[in-house]
Amino acid sequence: MTIRPVVIWGDPVLHQRAAEVATFDDDLRTLIADMYETMDAANGVGLAAPQIGVGLRIFTWGLPNEDDVPERGVVVNPVLTVGKISGVDPDPDEDTEGCLSFPGESYPLQRADWARVTGFDGDGNPLDFEATGWFARCMQHEYDHLDGKLYVDRLNPRWHKKAKKAVKEHGWKGAGNTWMPGVDPDPFGH
Active site (catalytic) residues = 142
Dist. CA 13–CA 49, nearest whole Å: 10
What lies within 8 Å, CB to CB, of 20 at 6+ separation is 56, 57, 77
Dist. CA 39–CA 41, nearest whole Å: 6
Asked whether residue 138 is marked as a ligand-binding residue, the answer is: no
Q: Find the distance separating the first CA and the last CA of the chain, reported in whole Å.
A: 22
Q: Which residues pair with 114 in a beta bridge?
A: 132
- What 3-state class would DSSP assign to 106? strand
**Pairing label, strands 46-48, 96-99:** unpaired
Asked whether residue 145 is marked as a ligand-binding residue, the answer is: yes
Asked whether residue 99 is marked as a ligand-binding residue, the answer is: yes
CA–chain centroid gap for 71, Å, is 15
Dist. CA 169–CA 188, nearest whole Å: 17
Measure the CA dihedral 77/123/74/181, to 10°: -110
Q: Which residues are annotated as a binding site?
A: 99, 141, 145
Q: Which residues are annotated as a binding site for Fe cation?
A: 99, 141, 145
